[in-house]
Structure 1
């Protein structure tokens, strides 16, 4: 029998209302208030389409960033560390307590659930709308878009507030709260990890056929985006056959790669003043200062030195500021404003394909996929194709390039979580801050962040162990 885990979504409700919770006595007042007057009366297909075109809700810093902070993608200068928020300091050092008990607005939890709410408003309103014959395609696309956005938000929450997917335990471990309607008075329990992944995958498969093949707008869903997200999810579940199929399906629909030789960096924080041609679906992580201030966070010098001198990522991704080569700064965001991009792009899909090929014994195929990507990253005329002596050798090369290519894209935390389940790839993370040493062993319970305190104290949600 599938297990469920009790606990209402109180913190999400607080966020959705857009009102700070100063006292638990305000609860009933908040439950009677909608977050936006426009959400009270969505009566037409145009109304619903308008709700889904709100980029500030769906694309601009809505995705959890705590995992990026906790990963090994970057380090923090000792002098700046005490000036960070308590949440950022605690996440970076894997502290027992992450959130200040007085904090009631947690963007890593609230912003994804705001996406869920908007999507559910649309999905709940659609049955009351009878589309005209010439509106049927638009009707189906609105529904599919809402399902995509909700699945996107659920998946981001799963990477942050639940342990990694392991088919041996997924049915017995708590996942997240699956809110499947817009009624804020309902309090669904935490579902199992298995049930959560099943819901996300089901919603994406339902959405797939009604969406355009390739992205009309980088901020809108498409069939290519659905297949890319399913490839990402399947890889995290160690379902390599499915991940390969979805990656191939995505590349049939959209296989554009950006030639880094054509990029002229417009600023010191971003790769381009326009969306990159390889961007499939554009979204950004919550704007934590710890990884947003480029002069304060830096990349491991060893990682920096691993980029070949002819590898354009070395110059496009990094800057040596103030004459301090020991502190290489990441300045290679895919976002035109320099926010931390965690969307879907073709480079990731080639890496997924290459990893799955290596894991299924196809070393030559893996190297071909990897080389297709890397030749677009090297100075023209300098790239020498990679080769592998075995499938295992190919896999190791792909994983190394994955970390280098997808740096500060919000994916390293998921990679650490999934690779820790394989003893040959499991690593112990270590950080030193102001003389203090911090350690995160493989598969530690701290690979799932605690739910915000308000969820436990006022909502009754089951807390994650730490």
Structure 2
């Protein structure tokens, strides 16, 4: 296990100064030798496996830097906030490298599982490790797809603008981009196999589970506009556990009201730490704050008291400064509600919304939703998604997918330090460019500009 730790640490140190896929570890010297070693690779949650991209959070419309905050953050983060033509300026891109590290480790685990010797009583453990590796690989590709791949639609599904699909650990082999459809099918295949191997609930919330795999499938199908399957897998996930915290019982006095690994969390991840996520001088956009009505406890629990700079976010389910980007029951309920609303299952969608809201609104003022039309129900679902899933790393994906409908498409506009920045609907900049060093190394096709 010590050798695995050394391998892990050396890769992390190496990727701090060069592109991950340029790193060629000598695996023959440091091969995992047991299930404990393989489990240890996947359990490196705080260093590698449970980390997600974050620049898309800056690019979305949840934060609005003040002049003080703007002057304090590095250029790459400013570029993300304003959709610059060259966001990275030749620098390292953790949002690209980190998911590919996760894919590498998942592939190492999958390959070594076929070679390590196990005892008869370890068969179930071996299967769980395999299911976890498949989940982590699919999860990493999902994160990449929402930044570096155009949004899914039938018109572009067969375009070769998907991800380079790696189901082997040899990083010296150059892989070109698959189609968008092939990338999604790769994720779906991994997750469907993982479901048959994973336990319903994991021993630790940093590990994948059957419920998490169902939920990630629901996410993917929602992105694809396949609402029947989004509903199916969200319902399967909620059938295992749909528990919510009652925000009426959460003490607003602590600086961070929510505890890590609380009862809503299904699978725990946090975003890469950029300086914009820690500065009170980069507060929540006032347009988001204005969505909360009187009696909505989220306005108190999610956001700090007003200062001269605005209101900072404090509502992470990590219980600290890190942005929680994992899977939780609140999101799954909202996915199920949206999928049902889009299939005109209005009463079922309203029932789910009321279940969520009775745990979010002050009990003294809560009034159940009733007598909504199908369109009103969908609008309310999308509103609650916006208000509940704040800074979860999902807003950028939502803006991309909702651009397909004139009723929900928006033009992003930000005024920062006296200058107005605009991102039109369906701009090619909704897809982040693949980093320059990766384009040069692999010769893969860049994203359109």
User: Could you say which TM-score interval applies, normalised by the shorter chain?
Assistant: over 0.9
**Contact 2:259–2:317 (Cα < 8 Å) also in 1:** no
Which residue of 50, 70, 73 maps to 1:81?
Answer: 70
**SS of 1:437 mapped into structure 2:** strand
| Higher relative contact order structure (alpha carbons within 8 Å, sequence separation ≥ 6) | 1
Following TM superposition, by how much is the alpha carbon of 1:399 offset from its aligned partner in structure 2, in angstroms? 0.4
- Give the equivalent residue in structure 1 for 2:374: 391
- Give the equivalent residue in structure 2 for 1:291: 277
**Contact 1:284–1:340 (Cα < 8 Å) also in 2:** yes
Following TM superposition, by how much is the alpha carbon of 1:22 offset from its aligned partner in structure 2, in angstroms? 7.0
Following TM superposition, by how much is the alpha carbon of 1:130 offset from its aligned partner in structure 2, in angstroms? 4.5
Going from structure 1 to structure 2, the CA distance change for 1:463 and 1:388 (only over 3 Å counts) comes to farther
Following TM superposition, by how much is the alpha carbon of 1:144 offset from its aligned partner in structure 2, in angstroms? 0.4
**Contact 1:176–1:192 (Cα < 8 Å) also in 2:** yes
**1:1-400 alignment, distance < 5 Å:** 16=11, 18-19=13-14, 30-31=23-24, 33=26, 40-58=30-48, 62-101=51-90, 103=91, 105-265=92-252, 267-268=254-255, 270-293=256-279, 295-322=280-307, 324=308, 327-400=310-383
**Contact 1:51–1:118 (Cα < 8 Å) also in 2:** yes
Following TM superposition, by how much is the alpha carbon of 1:150 offset from its aligned partner in structure 2, in angstroms? 0.8
Q: Deviations over 1:367-396 (max 9, x none)?
A: 111110110011233210122431111000
Q: Deviations over 1:186-242 (max 9, x none)?
A: 111111111110000100000002111123211111111001111111101100000
**SS of 1:318 mapped into structure 2:** coil
**Contact 2:175–2:442 (Cα < 8 Å) also in 1:** no
Following TM superposition, by how much is the alpha carbon of 1:43 offset from its aligned partner in structure 2, in angstroms? 1.7
Could you tell me how far apart the structure 2 residues matched to 1:17 and 1:407 are?
29
Following TM superposition, by how much is the alpha carbon of 1:58 offset from its aligned partner in structure 2, in angstroms? 4.3
Could you tell me how far apart the structure 1 residues matched to 2:12 and 2:277 are?
28
Following TM superposition, by how much is the alpha carbon of 1:425 offset from its aligned partner in structure 2, in angstroms? 1.2
Following TM superposition, by how much is the alpha carbon of 1:33 offset from its aligned partner in structure 2, in angstroms? 4.3
RMSD value, Cα: 2.3
Going from structure 1 to structure 2, the CA distance change for 1:421 and 1:31 (only over 3 Å counts) comes to same
**Contact 2:252–2:300 (Cα < 8 Å) also in 1:** no
Could you tell me how far apart the structure 2 residues matched to 1:253 and 1:22 are?
43
- Give the equivalent residue in structure 2 for 1:444: 427
TM-score norm. by structure 2 comes to: 0.93
Which blocks of at least 5 consecutive residues in structure 2 are unaligned? Answer: 1-7
Could you tell me how far apart the structure 2 residues matched to 1:423 and 1:16 are?
46
Following TM superposition, by how much is the alpha carbon of 1:53 offset from its aligned partner in structure 2, in angstroms? 1.4
Corresponding residue pairs, total? 442
**Contact 1:117–1:182 (Cα < 8 Å) also in 2:** yes
Going from structure 1 to structure 2, the CA distance change for 1:176 and 1:169 (only over 3 Å counts) comes to same
- Give the equivalent residue in structure 2 for 1:416: 399
**SS of 1:280 mapped into structure 2:** strand
Going from structure 1 to structure 2, the CA distance change for 1:358 and 1:45 (only over 3 Å counts) comes to same
Could you tell me how far apart the structure 2 residues matched to 1:368 and 1:126 are?
44
**Contact 2:403–2:409 (Cα < 8 Å) also in 1:** yes
Which blocks of at least 5 consecutive residues in structure 1 are unaligned? Answer: 1-12
Could you tell me how far apart the structure 2 residues matched to 1:145 and 1:95 are?
37
Going from structure 1 to structure 2, the CA distance change for 1:74 and 1:388 (only over 3 Å counts) comes to farther
TM-score norm. by structure 1 comes to: 0.90
**Contact 1:260–1:378 (Cα < 8 Å) also in 2:** yes
**Contact 1:266–1:273 (Cα < 8 Å) also in 2:** no
**Contact 1:70–1:413 (Cα < 8 Å) also in 2:** yes
**Contact 1:17–1:33 (Cα < 8 Å) also in 2:** no
Following TM superposition, by how much is the alpha carbon of 1:19 offset from its aligned partner in structure 2, in angstroms? 1.8
Q: Deviations over 1:379-432 (max 9, x none)?
A: 233210122431111000110111000011101000001010122211111111
